[in-house]
A and B are shown apart, each in its own frame.
Chain A
């Protein structure tokens, strides 16, 4: 158990800057999730914390100890990889105990920790099996078990669920959440799945091109995204962005006032989440239905607005539309987000 602090981290591969001046403090026992599009430097950052990549500049501390000059094994971390990275020639027990055996820990203690981990993860039945005789989910559990037995200060996960099928992913996500509630360790988790980020994280760090865009709890990010990038990244389906105009402190779309805003007159982007839109006869968003997807309990309406902008709305399952139907939608003013031309959130 420990805090983790990153100070002024820079990383470049040759002339390519992958991480730029990144600073972050992770509290003791916190579950931090890094999200961001592919190639933004999430894995690189995690590998630097683990000690698998050197820093170009900056400092990493775990607890009160500066660790960026230490080899991975001495940092008090354990890492779970996307590809599980189990030793194929060792059985489950061998995989779980390997690190401990190397650290010169007594056999009794190893057995105790291995059995404890296998119980937590439900692996007791398959201790003598080789990784190739396990399913994907079981393999991932062994990989997590291998991290648990080392009793690290900080757990690092690099997209641990992305190789699993959808159903298993949901299941393992809950297992990881339970594990965190049980162990209360500091965990750093990388994903580009925003649902994983929303459900697991105490705080989410949104990265873009090696920079932190925003740090906050899932709800903060959902309710108050600092810019269009974060707004588009958090929430599913993604937020709609519409070209609108400010006139006399009112945000207007095709002449209809959507909400009020104390700003200079001029063009802005209006951000509207699909789940906040409701069907309303006199709603300001009028258009014809281009696609209608019914999922039983809910449905998605894709609307082509009069000025050739498009909009997705998430509606209750009771509505049925056909392509070509006219439809008008409304939104409460407090659910509107307004962004300036540079993409910054200027909502009041």
Chain B
């Protein structure tokens, strides 16, 4: 009994470790090679950046000889503002859908989550037209609006499921305690679903941070480039500055990593919520 238990747990761990290695390998390769000269990258792709292999020229050209800090700032602004909007609007919509009964509520709910099934990129042409008509081409606002629209359906879907499980009696007792509906939302409901917020935040953030499509189409201007678009400048038609590309990618991983570490505890709780009682 004990032995089979040990064996099965060892088996599970072996699989998990193998998968982690597989997933981490490309990442490690990027980081390692970002510290190497171009020659060294091709001569010995898996070698460590030691001795005369080592070169920080990639980082030098990214951080000092390009607009990379600007791009980085753009990405950060777009991602953070979109994320705040997605979380705030998504949670509020979900609260309204799960707490109040009003005519057409289920139709509105369906309409709001319909976007899950329709990829937003299908509407690119119409979006571009709309953005140009609004005079928002080449602005970060354009990206923020599109990403918010892109993230809302799945956010509303996940939030609605979880908010339905918040006990009605807690909200009622807050009403008796004299809280307004807004305060009930912010002070009672939101703290209860914190793990879910972390989950939705991470899931929504990554596609936004990594997106190349909309920056390329809606705001390719020098001033409004995001990291993913900015990196392309090191990939020329004839020569590719691999050191710089890898360095830029390594730096671009950082915010996602930081965010993940901040949210991970909450995230795991969010994913396992409902699996265990309490």
Are B278's CB and A85's CB within 8 A? no
The verdict on A82 contacting chain B, using a C-beta distance below 8 Å, is yes
The verdict on B129 contacting chain A, using a C-beta distance below 8 Å, is no
Chain B, range 81-101, C-beta contacts under 8 Å to A: none
Q: How far is the CA of A50 from the CA of B176 in the complex (A)?
A: 8
Q: How far is the CA of A89 from the CA of B195 in the complex (A)?
A: 12
Q: How far is the CA of A73 from the CA of B178 in the complex (A)?
A: 5
Chain B: minimal CB distance from A49 (Å): 11
Residues of chain A contacted by B170 (CB below 8 angstroms): 85-87
Are B178's CB and A81's CB within 8 A? no
* Proximity bits, A92-119, B CB within 8 Å = 1, else 0: 0000001100110000000000000000
Q: How far is the CA of A83 from the CA of B171 in the complex (A)?
A: 12
Residues of chain A contacted by B176 (CB below 8 angstroms): 50-52, 72-73, 77-79, 99
Q: Which among B175, B188, B278 is the interface contact of A52 at CB below 8 angstroms?
A: B175
Q: How far is the CA of A74 from the CA of B177 in the complex (A)?
A: 9
Chain B: minimal CB distance from A319 (Å): 47
Q: How far is the CA of A51 from the CA of B172 in the complex (A)?
A: 10
* Proximity bits, B144-181, A CB within 8 Å = 1, else 0: 00000000000000000000000101101111111100
The dominant DSSP class at the B interface is helix
Interface residues in B, total, Cβ within 8 A:
16
Are A79's CB and B173's CB within 8 A? yes
Are B192's CB and A88's CB within 8 A? yes
Q: How far is the CA of A211 from the CA of B5 in the complex (A)?
A: 60
Residues of chain A contacted by B188 (CB below 8 angstroms): 87
Q: How far is the CA of A146 from the CA of B174 in the complex (A)?
A: 11
Which of chain A's residues has its CB closest to B173's CB?
Answer: A85
The verdict on A132 contacting chain B, using a C-beta distance below 8 Å, is yes
Residues of chain A contacted by B175 (CB below 8 angstroms): 51-52, 71-73
Which of chain B's residues has its CB closest to A100's CB?
Answer: B177
Q: How far is the CA of A88 from the CA of B172 in the complex (A)?
A: 15
* Total A-B Cβ pairs within 8 A: 55
Chain B: minimal CB distance from A101 (Å): 9
Are A102's CB and B178's CB within 8 A? yes
Chain A: minimal CB distance from B130 (Å): 42
Are B192's CB and A89's CB within 8 A? yes
Which of chain B's residues has its CB closest to A79's CB?
Answer: B176
Residues of chain B contacted by A98 (CB below 8 angstroms): 177
Chain A: minimal CB distance from B91 (Å): 16
- Asked whether A82 and B192 contact (CB < 8 A) given A72-B176, A99-B178, A102-B177, the answer is no
Residues of chain A contacted by B177 (CB below 8 angstroms): 73, 98-99, 102, 146, 150
Q: How far is the CA of A81 from the CA of B177 in the complex (A)?
A: 13
Which of chain B's residues has its CB closest to A90's CB?
Answer: B191
Q: How far is the CA of A102 from the CA of B174 in the complex (A)?
A: 10
Are A102's CB and B179's CB within 8 A? yes
Chain A: minimal CB distance from B267 (Å): 18
Residues of chain B contacted by A86 (CB below 8 angstroms): 170
Residues of chain A contacted by B192 (CB below 8 angstroms): 88-89
Which of chain A's residues has its CB closest to B176's CB?
Answer: A72
Chain A: minimal CB distance from B163 (Å): 15
Q: How far is the CA of A95 from the CA of B108 in the complex (A)?
A: 35
Q: How far is the CA of A256 from the CA of B191 in the complex (A)?
A: 71
Are B278's CB and A83's CB within 8 A? no
Are B191's CB and A81's CB within 8 A? no
Which of chain B's residues has its CB closest to A99's CB?
Answer: B177
Q: How far is the CA of A165 from the CA of B170 in the complex (A)?
A: 22
Residues of chain B contacted by A47 (CB below 8 angstroms): 172
Residues of chain A contacted by B191 (CB below 8 angstroms): 87, 89
Chain A: minimal CB distance from B108 (Å): 20
Q: How far is the CA of A77 from the CA of B175 in the complex (A)?
A: 12
* Proximity bits, B225-242, A CB within 8 Å = 1, else 0: 000000000000000000
Q: How far is the CA of A98 from the CA of B176 in the complex (A)?
A: 11
Q: How far is the CA of A337 from the CA of B4 in the complex (A)?
A: 68
Chain A: minimal CB distance from B32 (Å): 43
Are A52's CB and B172's CB within 8 A? yes
Which of chain A's residues has its CB closest to B190's CB?
Answer: A89
Which of chain B's residues has its CB closest to A103's CB?
Answer: B178
Chain A: minimal CB distance from B183 (Å): 8
- Asked whether A81 and B278 contact (CB < 8 A) given A87-B188, A99-B178, A102-B178, the answer is no
Are B178's CB and A83's CB within 8 A? no
Apart from A50-B172, A81-B169, what 9 extra A-B contacts exist at CB < 8 Å? A51-B176, A52-B172, A52-B175, A71-B175, A85-B169, A85-B170, A99-B177, A146-B173, A150-B177
- Going nearest first, the 7 A-B pairs with the smallest beta carbon separation are A73-B178, A99-B177, A85-B169, A81-B169, A85-B173, A89-B191, A72-B176
15 contacts between A and B (CB under 8 A): A50-B172, A51-B176, A52-B172, A52-B175, A72-B176, A74-B178, A81-B173, A83-B167, A85-B172, A86-B170, A88-B192, A89-B192, A99-B176, A102-B183, A146-B173
